[in-house]
Copies of this chain bind each other. A is one copy, B any other.
Amino acid sequence: MIQLDVSNATGFLPEDWLTSRTERLEQARGWLENGSGAGGSFTGWVHLPRDYDKEEFARIRCAAKKIQSDSQALVVVGIGGSYLGARAVIELLKSPNYNLKKKDTPDIFFAGNGLSTDALLEIIDLVKDRDFSVNVISKSGTTTEPAVAFRIFKNLLEEKYGKEEARRRIYATTDAHKGALKGLADSEGYETFVVPDAVGGRYSVLTAVGLLPIAVAGIDLEKLMEGAAQAMEALSVPGMDNPAWQYAAARHALYTLGKRTEILVGYEPAFRFFAEWWKQLYGESEGKDGKGLFPASVEFTADLHSMGQYIQQGERLMFESVVRFAESLGSFTIPHDPDNVDGLNFLSGKPLSFVAEQAMRGTLLAHVDGGVPNLVIQAARRDEHTVGELIYFFEYSCGLSGYLLEVNPFDQPGVEAYKKNMYALLGKPGYEAQKAELEARLGH
């Protein structure tokens, strides 16, 4: 199971950093387990790895098989939690170069997560001459970005295959009962999957929202859920050796001491997008009421040659949380150079992973010496089971963290602000007064 090594942070913390918080952690644990805290109606993810809908799970795997058999590409239409989780897991378990690699599963493109014309045209160009399917993911069906993209890819499918076959190539992940997309899906006969009411977007990667694209990429859902279930069991046990308790307490203690930025550190390019998922999870859960750690991320050792300078010697406002996988999937031995041009023959014959390990250990000590506390999240091999654990570990710790911070970790009231302004400026019926006011402020 995931372990947390706090030994490179405790020197910065008071002795009672954990003990002074166990009572509140016990309370937060209860709120999560029973859904009795702030935002408690959105704690459906807590027991999801045990209680998930087995019938739907089987249908997801079936749909993935069909898509694998009749499509060279899958276009996933969704934004925020309807996008980040699937992309994070696919990149972490397959590769950021997943689409480029030779494989027997479809390419996967993420659309409808922004408003870039050029990015959209590019995806159209990449799929239009190939067999493809669409997974549209939206609770309501009316969020601007995915709704616009869905109009486009639906049209494209209908032009290419006709209405009948297009319907068989559209998979809608949406509300179980209501909403625009659910209505359309029912009337058109799309296969549908459920965005559960009790699970918010950023906690939804282990629902159909994340699982269908993840399954299409050839990832073993069973093992992913097993890993999450194992973490669920382990982390529900109260106690000071619970790594989620430790992580939540340590980051809250560091915040209390004045740290304002948490940098999630990975050592694999494949981890880059998982960090983006983590940013949404923590940033949206904690960043409210003028509070919260600012979530940032780096990819080492690459970024030791970019953000490394700042981390070593800039403002002392941050700490690092390092995710360390115990082993690589493959192995590679550093070749010998008879001329030793680069002076690295003391490494000849050693595995590259040995060098990476020493870089990690050396960086840890350098940053601690520079005044940056380091928490190390130790995971096993980068496989389905471990990634399932990691997802649940971060979700559960995030719930605890939000309660320690005394915020509702399950709402996101600030996300509406830009939408309202955008609707007004776009001339959406009903927003006329606001439009005039905003235009005046913009001075044209």
Residue A328 CB within 8 A of the other chain = yes
Residues of A263-310 at the interface with B, using a CB-CB cut-off of 8 Å, are 267-270, 276, 279-280, 283-284, 286-292, 294-296, 299-302, 304-310
Interface contact A359-B302, CB-CB below 8 Å: no
Q: Is the C-beta of A334 less than 8 angstroms from some C-beta in chain B?
A: yes
Residue among B115, B291, B330 making CB contact with A267, cutoff 8 Å? B115
B341-A180 in contact (CB<8A): yes
Distance between Cα atoms of A365 and B80 in the complex (Å): 21
Chain B contacts of A15 at CB under 8 A? none
Flag the segment in A22-30, A49-57, A312-320, A392-400 that touches B.
A312-320
Take A342-B180, A417-B312, A421-B362 as given contacts and tell me if A280 and B299 are in contact as well, using a CB distance cutoff of 8 Å: no
* A317-B301 in contact (CB<8A): no
Interface centre among A97, A426, A428 (most CB of B within 10 A): A426
- Interface bits A424-438 vs B (CB < 8 Å: 1, else 0): 111111000000001
Q: Is the CB of A308 within 8 A of B362?
A: no
Q: Which residues of B contact A334 (CB under 8 A)?
A: 148, 151
Find out whether the CB atom of A366 lies under 8 angstroms from the CB atom of B417. yes
Residues of B within 8 A of A313 (CB): 287-290, 413-414
Q: Does A20 contact B (CB under 8 A)?
A: no
The answer to whether A144 touches B344 (Cβ under 8 A) is: yes
Partner among B330, B366, B427 whose Cβ is within 8 Å of the Cβ of A118: B330
Asked if A332 and B294 make an inter-chain contact with CB atoms under 8 angstroms apart, the answer reads no
Whether A115 lies near B359 (C-beta < 8 A) is yes
Give the segment of A32-40, A226-234, A241-249, A349-357 that binds chain B. A349-357
* Cβ contacts under 8 Å, A114 to chain B: 267, 269, 299-302
Binding-face segment, A119-127, A160-168, A191-199, A206-214: A119-127
Is A260 at the interface (CB under 8 A from chain B)? yes
Q: Are A426 and B347 in contact (CB under 8 A)?
A: yes
Cβ-defined partner of A361 (8 Å) among B144, B355, B421: B421
Number of interface residues of A (CB under 8 A): 132
**In the complex, residue of chain B having the shortest beta-carbon distance to the beta carbon of A185:** B341
Report chain B residues within 8 Å CB of A125: 101
Instruction: Determine if B362 and A425 form an interchain contact, defined as CB atoms under 8 angstroms apart.
Output: yes
**Chain B CB within 8 A of A335 CB:** yes
Residues of B within 8 A of A369 (CB): 417
Q: Does A150 contact B (CB under 8 A)?
A: yes
- Give the docked Cα–Cα distance between A152 and B414 (Å): 49
A354 to B115, CA, bound (A): 9
B290 lies within 8 A of A315 (CB): yes
A148 shortest CB reach to chain B, Å: 6
B118 adjacent to A270 (CB under 8 Å): yes
Which chain B positions have C-beta within 8 A of A365?
421, 438, 441-442
- Assembly CA distance A202 to B305 (angstroms): 9
Complex partner residue of A260 from B113, B260, B268, B283, CB under 8 angstroms:
B260
Please tell me if A46 contacts chain B, counting CB pairs below 8 Å.
Answer: no
- Alpha-carbon separation in the docked complex, A307 to B282 (Å): 9
Q: Does A261 contact B (CB under 8 A)?
A: yes
Give chain A interface residues in 213-261, CB to chain B under 8 Å: 260-261
Interchain residue pairs with CB less than 8 A apart (11): A142-B342, A147-B344, A283-B306, A284-B308, A287-B312, A291-B315, A292-B314, A294-B318, A309-B412, A363-B418, A366-B421
**Other 7 A-B pairs with CB < 8 A, given A115-B356, A116-B269, A361-B442:** A100-B126, A101-B125, A116-B270, A148-B344, A151-B335, A180-B341, A305-B415
Q: Which residues of A contact B (CB under 8 A)?
A: 7, 79-81, 83-84, 95, 97, 99-101, 113-122, 125-126, 141-142, 144-145, 147-148, 150-152, 155, 180-181, 183-184, 201-202, 260-261, 267-270, 276, 279-280, 283-284, 286-292, 294-296, 299-302, 304-318, 328-332, 334-335, 337, 339, 341-344, 346-347, 351-356, 358-359, 361-363, 365-367, 369-370, 382, 412-415, 417-429, 438, 441-443
Counting from the closest, the 4 A-B pairs by CB-CB distance are A287-B310, A80-B305, A362-B421, A287-B314
